[in-house]
Structure 1
Amino acid sequence: MVLGLAVSLPLLCAPGPAPGGPRGVPGKTIAFIASDSRNGGVTGVFRAFQDAAGLLGWKASFQDGNGRKARQGELLLQAIQGRADGIIFGGFDAGDFPAEVAAARRAGIPLVGWHAARNPGPSRDLFLNVATDPAAVAALAVRFVVQDAVRFRKPVGVVIFTDSRFEVARAKTLAMVRALEASRKAGPCRVLAIQDIPISEAATRAPGAVPDLVAKFGAQWTYTLAINDVYFDHMNFPLAFAHRADILNVSAGDGSSLALSRIGSGRSQQAATVAEPLRMQGFQLADELNRAFAGERPSGQVSRPILVTAEVLKARGAGGIEAGSGFEAAYARIWSGR
């Protein structure tokens, strides 16, 4: 079952959650453990989850893993030992923590994730992983690049920024490479380089990579793809300094508030992001945990990615890319038993 905003330009729509589901189980305490608070997707989905938790009468805490695996493991153990009713893996792989997952299972604590496994849906470690399909995200990002190249008769020479520590990032990167290699609409599409930089170090290392890439590839470098918007947060100045205002940047996730702001302004070299419906996903995280508390099966819903450009943002207006989708009211009805 697919849940989310249909990908269309410039109008978007959202069918909302599937009908049915258990009444809200109140009085729960949830630990949201974030991979890194510098990741705008993680903080955005938590804010939505926090609002959903308020409707359910839950207490939600945000714990920052600071981009370090050791810290994330410590926080998981603290949540288990502190008898949290549920734990959310916010943007880091549950499979990297087998001992903690096993301890939570013994304690009867349900685990859900956001971008916490390679694919959306139930997994060996999680009741359900909330995410879009990484192959669909990659395909949208590459399609935008190819269409731009055809429109402006540009060659396609791509640098990809990724973080190989995460399964979903590896999946997106591989899918982007394959999609580029398979495309023929704009002539041969070349992957010039794959820059493997941890998201937690993107603010310093991504801008620092620009001069070396310009020196190595020169005019061959025409597009940049990245698995997260954070790589483009500080790249405009080094690209301008290198006199490369011609390079177009496109992110294959997640639609951070900073990315949406710079895309909407039209003053950035980031022309698009393939965004997650973060608010909808935050509510789905709450619904999946509620299903686990009620002894029901996971929903199996998978949200669709959203190709966001300046034109889309202008069409949607101040309400944002998820405005008018109706999912909040739909979930509220389900949880109230109406």
Structure 2
Amino acid sequence: MRGLLLAWACACMLSAAAAPGIPTAPVPRAAVAARDYLAEAKRVVDAAAQPAAPWNGPRNGPRAQPGKRIAVVAEDLRNGGIVGVVDGVLEAAKVIGWRVKILDSSGTPDLRLKMLANALASRPNGLIIVGGDVHALLPGLQPFAERSIPIVGWHVAAHAGSVPGTPAAMNVATNPLEVARVTALAAIVQSGGHAGVVIFTDSNFQIAKDKADAMAAVVRACSGCTLLEVRDVAISRSQELMPDTTRALLARYSKHWTYALAINDIYFDYAAPVLTQAGMPNTAIAMLSAGDGSESAFLRIRTGTFQTGTVAEPLNLHGWQLVDEMNRLFAGEGVTGYVFPVHLVTADNMAADGGDRLIYDPANGYRDIYRHIWQRP
């Protein structure tokens, strides 16, 4: 990334060599820098679009700790990414032999704390939070900490790994800032360095704000691109707000708006129909998402309906990782801190690694590896 930013930093002039007696013609060095920027951006994007690499996560750990009851508090089960992770937790829990109770906060502040209270009342051995912001949930998490109930989460903080200052032992996620950068670089590559960008985010979540800031920084570093606007739309209200928001942006920016970037695919579920109703051709605005790789996103990419990419999370794999991290805590061990590499899904590569089923499910044998760790058939 440093190389990309440095490539844009130089705006002086480079003189071209000329024949004797003929004045040299100045060649904009910025143009050279632009070509270098695009070349490096393409290298990063191409690397992110490769098929899943062999498993580079943990291969050893404690055997299955039997008879555990797990409470799962989901931020919003209308969100395809969250549903995918919950499905992975359920699949892994069945293998390891645990019982799971699922509670849905429906994306509302009042229900978040209520669902945590309900989870505590179910007397679980462990708590998994899927979505949300662990810092905002601290009042509801403190009773779990006081009872020494281990907590792990998915997308609950701005960074993957440990979450200092909270009871959450682990935030399972890909690197959110790298996800954001790859998303924005993909838009720049697809546009040839001439993207007119609107970014959708949700300021209720620090991870969303950080991803939006990272995308905006990449777009601003592209001298031929224009960051038209960063639009704040609550994910929980995207169905209600995105249709009118999309119409307003079309009216304001018209043909200058050529790329839509978002911190989650769900925004495009409600923007794409508006573009179709407005008579926009599928190539008029390209949509790319910095997470999570929902079924609807895969379908839009496959059919060529506006969306051209999503930096998809390995949702099912992350569900298995949550169970494994919890099992390590039950066994008195530390979490792995494992972070799965970033992967960009496009029409060119979506047939691999589960894309034919409209999901990103890496073909790296992770299920068998976790079964081996847990010593489960």
TM-score scaled by structure 1? 0.92
CA distance in 1, matches of 2:250, 2:107: 28
- Say whether the 8 Å CA contact 1:17–1:330 is kept in structure 2: no
Is 1:256 aligned to 2:294, yes or no?
yes
Is 1:29 aligned to 2:69, yes or no?
yes
The aligned amino acid for 1:265 is T
Is 1:197 aligned to 2:233, yes or no?
yes
Look at both structures and tell me which one has the larger radius of gyration over its CA atoms: 2
Number of aligned residue pairs: give it: 326
- Say whether the 8 Å CA contact 2:103–2:119 is kept in structure 1: no
Is 1:327 aligned to 2:366, yes or no?
yes
SS in 2 for 1:235: helix
By how many angstroms is 1:135 displaced?
Answer: 1.0
| Alpha-carbon spacing, 1:314–1:337, altered in 2? closer, same or farther (3 Å) | closer
The aligned amino acid for 2:75 is S
By how many angstroms is 1:7 displaced?
Answer: 5.0
CA distance in 1, matches of 2:232, 2:226: 18
- Say whether the 8 Å CA contact 1:197–1:205 is kept in structure 2: yes
By how many angstroms is 1:332 displaced?
Answer: 0.3
1:8-87 equivalences in 2 (<5 Å): 8-87=48-127
Q: 2:277 aligns with which of 218, 234, 241?
A: 241
The aligned amino acid for 1:282 is G
1:103-252 equivalences in 2 (<5 Å): 103-123=143-163, 124-125=165-166, 126-150=168-192, 155-184=194-223, 187=224, 189-245=225-281, 246-252=284-290
By how many angstroms is 1:314 displaced?
Answer: 2.7
SS in 2 for 1:116: coil
SS in 2 for 1:109: coil
- Say whether the 8 Å CA contact 1:118–1:167 is kept in structure 2: yes
Spell out structure 1 runs of 4+ moving beyond 6 A.
none
- Say whether the 8 Å CA contact 2:317–2:366 is kept in structure 1: yes
- Post-superposition Cα deviations, 1:50-109, rounded to whole Å, max 9, x if no partner, equal 010111110112211011111011111121232111111110011112222221111111
- Say whether the 8 Å CA contact 1:10–1:315 is kept in structure 2: no
Q: What's the counterpart of residue 3 of structure 1?
A: none
The aligned amino acid for 1:190 is T
SS in 2 for 1:314: coil
CA distance in 1, matches of 2:122, 2:274: 46
Structure 1: runs of 5 or more not aligned: 1-5
By how many angstroms is 1:155 displaced?
Answer: 2.7
CA distance in 2, matches of 1:312, 1:25: 38
Moved more, 290-299 or 215-224: 215-224
CA distance in 1, matches of 2:50, 2:368: 24
SS in 1 for 2:349: helix
The aligned amino acid for 1:172 is K
- Post-superposition Cα deviations, 1:135-176, rounded to whole Å, max 9, x if no partner, equal 1001110111011111xxx73211111111111101100110
Q: 2:306 aligns with which of 269, 290, 297?
A: 269
The aligned amino acid for 2:142 is A
- Post-superposition Cα deviations, 1:231-263, rounded to whole Å, max 9, x if no partner, equal 011222311333433111111100011211221
SS in 2 for 1:93: coil
- Say whether the 8 Å CA contact 2:176–2:207 is kept in structure 1: yes
The aligned amino acid for 1:202 is S
By how many angstroms is 1:11 displaced?
Answer: 2.8
| Alpha-carbon spacing, 1:302–1:10, altered in 2? closer, same or farther (3 Å) | closer
Sequence identity percentage: 37
The aligned amino acid for 2:148 is G
- Say whether the 8 Å CA contact 1:288–1:299 is kept in structure 2: yes
CA distance in 2, matches of 1:293, 1:62: 20
Measured on the aligned residues, the alpha-carbon RMSD in Å equals 1.8
- Say whether the 8 Å CA contact 1:22–1:337 is kept in structure 2: no
TM-score scaled by structure 2? 0.83
Structure 2: runs of 5 or more not aligned: 1-45
